[in-house]
A and B are shown apart, each in its own frame.
Chain A
Amino acid sequence: ETGVTQTPRHLVMGMTNKKSLKCEQHLGHNAMYWYKQSAKKPLELMFVYSLEERVENNSVPSRFSPECPNSSHLFLHLHTLQPEDSALYLCASSQDRGGRTDTQYFGPGTRLTVL
């Protein structure tokens, strides 16, 4: 349960605030992901980083800005969010074996509420 950690676990912010979500993986993986999970919707892939390079940006609004300084850390910077951005934000990691998709390990998530 401690392989992928996320902080904070809960976050309440106003629409004009700037905040950041942090994810850290201790599994030696080289790929990291951000997902958005809303009620009654599938897990939506937001960003994928493999070997510290962004390989996927799934049409995410620019008010969400990812950062991957190394293979163990992933950030999601938030700026001028909307109430509809309230959701559970999940981080995950996996091992990228030359394009072959492998098991993803999820963090506990950050429950974000935008007022």
Chain B
Amino acid sequence: GENVEQHPSTLSVQEGDSAVIKCTYSDSASNYFPWYKQELGKRPQLIIDIRSNVGEKKDQRIAVTLNKTAKHFSLHITETQPEDSAVYFCAASGGYQKVTFGTGTKLQVIP
């Protein structure tokens, strides 16, 4: 089955700096890669996703890059703000609704 590894497990950045979270996956058939943000005590919510026919996708301060050959994808957050503090999960799916999540990265943005 699919295996998703996520690094780092914790990340502290100064407000205004950039944050990068990296994930690798094992199943070359995976073609959908969502990122979820989970604030303390709240449900995970999708922040951005990418499909395998695209190498990069941006949405304001958030971007995701995908390297299918190397089987890794990354989340980039620029100009970080305190409200970006949360746990971020990457995930990979090869279809048919089966999604495998990474272990999560706790991001702390220091004002």
Contacts and interface: CB of A to CB of B under 8 A. Distances in A.
Contact of A101 (B36, B45, B99, B103): B99
Contacts of A90: 43-44
Contact of A56 (B34, B43, B44, B98): B98
Interface string A31-48: 101000000111111001
A66 interface: no
Contacts of B89: 42-43
Given A42-B4, A42-B104, A103-B34, A109 B99 contact: no
10 contacts: A48-B98, A56-B97, A56-B98, A101-B99, A104-B46, A105-B46, A106-B36, A107-B43, A108-B42, A109-B43
Interface residues of B, number: 24
Given A99-B95, A99-B96, A101-B93, A43 B101 contact: yes
Interface string B90-111: 0101111111111110000000
Main secondary structure of the interface of B (DSSP, over half): strand
Interface in B52-111: 89, 91, 93-104
B97 A55 contact: yes
Interface in A62-104: 90, 94, 96, 99-101, 103-104
Contacts of B32: 100-101
Contact of A42 (B42, B49, B101): B101
Q: Nearest 3 pairs between A and B by C-beta?
A: A101-B93, A43-B101, A106-B43
Given A43-B101, A104-B34, A106-B43, 15 more contacts: A42-B89, A42-B100, A43-B91, A44-B101, A45-B98, A45-B101, A48-B98, A55-B96, A56-B97, A100-B32, A101-B93, A103-B46, A106-B36, A106-B45, A109-B43
